[in-house]
């Protein structure tokens, strides 16, 4: 995606919507995230079963410029239990569109949707060295509740299991405060 002159009111024209199957290639962001191809395909299958919600922000004439995924239920009940707690992950805004309020708007959109679904707490993990994201989450009302070793693995687009170690803070926000 190349940088271009944007309308001053570009943020007003952004549409936040659910991921469609045909969006999956665009989530690889011109190859930067191709290694997550299988992860995204699996997440999409889970979203079709109602276990997760995948959001993207689309700018007309530009395409997808941001994403955030929500687990409604997973095997760690302190993160997502299918009833009260949901887990935010895979959140990113394209470099060219950061620091203009889109990320905050996407989190606000997620919160409203979860309240409508009856959820009460939004959880997430943020890498300890990701100070920009940590500051954003604190400003949005999340608080640190635990330290996480942040060790997880995935199978990449070539079928090779990759292990990630990313010490993190677990954060959560009460959606009713
Ligand atoms: C984290 C991330 C999603 C935030 O997206 P974003 O669109 O930049 O978020 P916002 O614009 O809402 O907020 C970012 C900052 O810009 C500021 N900002 C928002 N609108 C602004 C405006 N019009 N003018 C100037 N600053 C503005 C916000 O106050 C915020 O400041 P803060 O960091 O001091 O709290 C984005 O930086 C990103 O994709 N990072 C890489 C991936 C990542 O780290 N994801 C999180 C994993 S846990």
- Distance between CA atoms of residues 27 and 54, nearest Å: 11
Counting from 1 in the atom list of ligand 1, the atom nearest the Cα of 105 is: 12
The whole domain housing 63 covers 10-126
Q: Tens-of-pLDDT digits for all 177 residues of the chain?
A: 555 566 778 999 999 999 999 999 999 999 999 999 999 999 999 999 999 999 999 999 899 999 999 999 999 999 999 999 999 999 999 999 999 999 999 999 999 999 999 999 999 999 999 999 999 999 999 999 999 999 999 999 999 999 999 999 999 999 998
Tokens of 12: 């007003």
Does 175 map to a domain?
no
Does 71 map to a domain?
yes
Probe target for ligand 1 pocket from 88, 93, 95, 168, with the most ligand atoms within 8 Å of CB: 93
Does 161 map to a domain?
no
| CATH number of the domain encompassing residue 108 | 3.40.630.30
Does 166 map to a domain?
no
Q: How far is CA 56 from the centre of its chain?
A: 9
- With vertex at residue 109, the alpha carbon angle to CA 124 and CA 169, rounded to the nearest 5 degrees, is 15
Instruction: Report pLDDT for 144.
Output: 98
Does 146 map to a domain?
no
Counting from 1 in the atom list of ligand 1, the atom nearest the Cα of 97 is: 7
Does 142 map to a domain?
no
């Amino acid at each position: 995606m190349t940088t271009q002159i944007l309308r001053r009111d570009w943020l007003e024209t952004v549409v936040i919507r659910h991921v469609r199957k045909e969006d999956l290639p665009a989530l690889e962001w011109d190859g930067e995230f191709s290694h997550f191809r299988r992860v995204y395909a699996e997440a999409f299958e889970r979203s079709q079963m109602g276990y997760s919600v995948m959001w993207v922000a689309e700018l007309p004439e530009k395409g997808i410029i941001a994403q955030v995924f929500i687990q409604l239920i997973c095997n760690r009940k302190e993160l997502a239990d299918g009833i009260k707690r949901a887990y935010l992950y895979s959140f990113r805004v394209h470099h060219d569109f950061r620091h203009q309020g889109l990320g905050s708007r996407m989190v606000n959109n997620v919160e409203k949707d979860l309240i409508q679904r009856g959820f009460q707490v939004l959880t997430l993990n943020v890498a300890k060295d990701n100070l920009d994201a940590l500051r954003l989450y604190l400003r949005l009302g999340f608080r640190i509740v635990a330290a996480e070793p942040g060790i997880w693995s995935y199978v990449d687009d070539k079928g090779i299991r990759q292990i990630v170690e990313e010490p993190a803070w677990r954060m959560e926000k009460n959606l009713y405060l």
